[in-house]
Amino acid sequence: MSDSNLILSARDVRKTFISGDRAIEVLRGVSLDIAAGESVSIRGESGSGKSTLLHLLARLDEPDTGSMTWGGEEQLPASARASFLGMVFQSFYLIPEMNALANVLMAARIGGKIDSAARNRAKGLLDRVGLTHRLSHLPSQLSGGERQRVAVARALMNKPQMLLADEPTGNLDEKTGNAVISLLLSLCAETDISLVLVTHNAMHAERCGRQMLLHDGVLG
């Protein structure tokens, strides 16, 4: 793929954690290119470093060595992060005191803009994920699948170029998990958003355009 089509590029990324007197090398030279509009799954056994890699891609953590670029830029400052990428986590991370609409609007608040257009977009996204009738419900009043759909809407609120999903079906039953994966893939395809899906589920991984395996700290 041409450099102009790359939305993210990582080269020889390494990450080691210290546990007591042990150095645990989790990532041992990972390289990865993601094209605009591409869907990529990353599988690996528990503890293989999948979430660590995703956190590095999201700039939630820094690699020990290696280089990364986002949209051709070597830096992704916090001010630009909210509009460049969205994240969906296994545990939803909704604010319990806020209803579904307010949780989605939190992304706009972080991006620095709450207005009528933002409210309309949040309502539109919740409608797209099938939750028009749940706008005023608190997370405790929603099922697990509904909470994850709110989280998906929130991740898309700022029109990101990339969506990173970290085991988004890990707390869901099979039927609900399949529905969430279908939703992620269709929404990203409709809006030409790149998707990086970290999952242990082989069937979910195979639904992405490209499948990769993280094993022994190396991505292949």
Q: pLDDT by residue for the chain (220 residues), tens digit each?
A: 556 689 999 999 999 999 888 998 999 999 999 999 999 999 988 878 899 999 999 998 999 999 999 988 888 887 788 889 999 998 999 999 999 999 999 988 876 778 899 999 999 999 999 999 999 999 999 999 999 999 999 999 999 999 999 999 988 999 999 999 999 999 999 999 999 999 989 999 999 999 999 998 899 8
Instruction: Answer for the pair 85, 58: CB distance below 8 angstroms, yes or no.
Output: yes
Domain ranges in the chain are: 3-219
How much is the pLDDT for 110? 79
Model pLDDT, residue 115: 86
Residue 82: its pLDDT value, please?
80
Q: State the pLDDT at residue 1.
A: 52
Give CA–CA dist 204/85, Å, rounded. 21
Q: 38 is written with which tokens?
A: 């591409």
Q: Which residues contact 16 (CB under 8 A, 6 or more apart)?
A: 23, 24, 25, 26, 64
- Name the CATH architecture for the domain at 3-219: 3-Layer(aba) Sandwich (3.40)
CB count in 10 Å sphere of residue 194: 21
